[in-house]
Amino acid sequence: MPRPLIGISSYGRAGKRQSFSLPCDYVDVVRRAGGVPIVLPAVQGEIPEALEAIQGLILSGGGDVDPVHYGGQPHRSNYGISVERDGFEIALAGAALARPTLPILCICRGMQVLNVALGGDLIAHIPEKYGKAVQHRHPERRAIEHPVQVEPSSRLAAILGATELPVRSWHHQAVGRLGRGLRAVAWASDGVIEAVEADHHPFTFAVQWHPEVGAVEDVRHLRLFEALVEAAGGTRPAIAAMAGRQG
């Protein structure tokens, strides 16, 4: 059977010569999981056509979501805000959720976009609410590793085959009030929500960490992408397949 096409949202246009970029880790891990990666440039207008062309969707990481989208206030730590990308991904998330047969995986910023698209809000700066007991980003804005606890009865735990695992994170914001139909299923030890599932969609998962980086050394992170590709291929129920790996 042909391998499923997995759309991955790009970063916003930037640089001296304006370009749409995406870290290679996203492309590499989708290929490793058996899918064909398709980068979706962050421009508004082609969302229906894009969703018709792909069998699975990844909302990637990147800069902050403009607080105007969730009733927040600008913060001195905000960075990488792109009006164009915000509009594209929030609309893309809403349109994708209306397609129950389209599996969706949201990563870091992607998790925040999903929450905002469903009416939730964000924590502007983690240290101001949760303190510094857990470092979610290196002071030089580099990835850092910390443990995460996953709810044992969650679908995410069934996919990962674990209820605790180390994750690579790189963020200073987090989801606050949960959006409609979202349920928190993983947390850092400081209380920051690290993953959510959508009750109203058969395959929508969002993680605050970067599994595309962790998958290089830890197969548990790769399983997220394998489950996405399996669900996109429609060959068998991905959740049931991954549930067999629990324990």
236 — pLDDT class (breaks 50, 70, 90): very low
User: What gap in Å lies between CA 154 and CA 166, rounded to an integer?
Assistant: 18
Q: What percent of the chain has pLDDT over 70?
A: 94
In angstroms, what is the C-alpha Rg of the chain? 17
Average pLDDT (87-102) is: 97
Question: What tokens does 130 get?
Answer: 């949760």
Residue 81: what pLDDT? 95
Residue 123: φ, ψ to 5°: -80, 120
Q: What percent of the chain has pLDDT over 90?
A: 88
Residue 174 per-residue DSSP state: E
For the beta carbon of residue 69, count every other beta carbon within 10 angstroms.
17
Residue type (1 letter), 131:
G
Residue 141: what pLDDT? 64
Residue 213: φ, ψ to 5°: -85, -45
Please give the positions annotated as active site: 108, 210, 212
Check pLDDT > 60 for residue 69.
yes
pLDDT digits (tens, 9 = 90+) for 114-160: 999 999 999 999 999 999 999 998 876 678 999 999 999 999 999 99
Residue 138: what pLDDT? 80
Whole-prediction pTM value? 0.93
What are the sequence ranges of the domains in the chain?
Answer: 5-243
Q: Give the residue, 149 or 238, on which the prediction is more confident.
A: 149
pLDDT digits (tens, 9 = 90+) for 14-25: 999 999 999 999
The CATH code of the domain at 5-243 is: 3.40.50.880
Residue 139: what pLDDT? 72
